[in-house]
Amino acid sequence: MKKVMLQFKAQQEQPSLESVKQQFKLSDEAIDKEFGVIETDSTEHLYVVMVDAGQQARIEKILARKAAKHPAEGFFSNPPIKPI
């Protein structure tokens, strides 16, 4: 499964993996449980999860329907990090 990082603004502090799955209508297989929910900006309440790239178009529609979409919400690639 090819994965991409989804950054989103949380309504509450430190959302659980279950609440993220519900918010974006993700199955257990569509989200990386080992990666978890990582805080990227404590001031703006931004978090990242790793999801199946096949879910991207559907999740983008969910993000587009948000009343106040944060400009940093969206998808980012997940390039491999290797030692130099």
Residue 12 resides in a domain: yes
Comparing CA positions, the residue from 35, 29, 37 lying closest to residue 7 is 37
Q: Is the pTM of this model over 0.85?
A: yes
Residue 81 resides in a domain: no
Supply the range of the domain harboring residue 61: 3-76
Q: What is the pLDDT of residues 33-83, one digit of tens each?
A: 999 999 999 999 999 999 999 999 999 999 999 878 889 999 998 777 888
Beta bridge partners of 52: 3
Q: What is the pLDDT of residues 3-32, one digit of tens each?
A: 999 999 998 778 999 999 999 999 999 999
Residue 83 resides in a domain: no
Residue 82 resides in a domain: no
How many domains does the chain contain in total? 1
Residue 62 resides in a domain: yes
Q: Which amino acid is at 8?
A: F
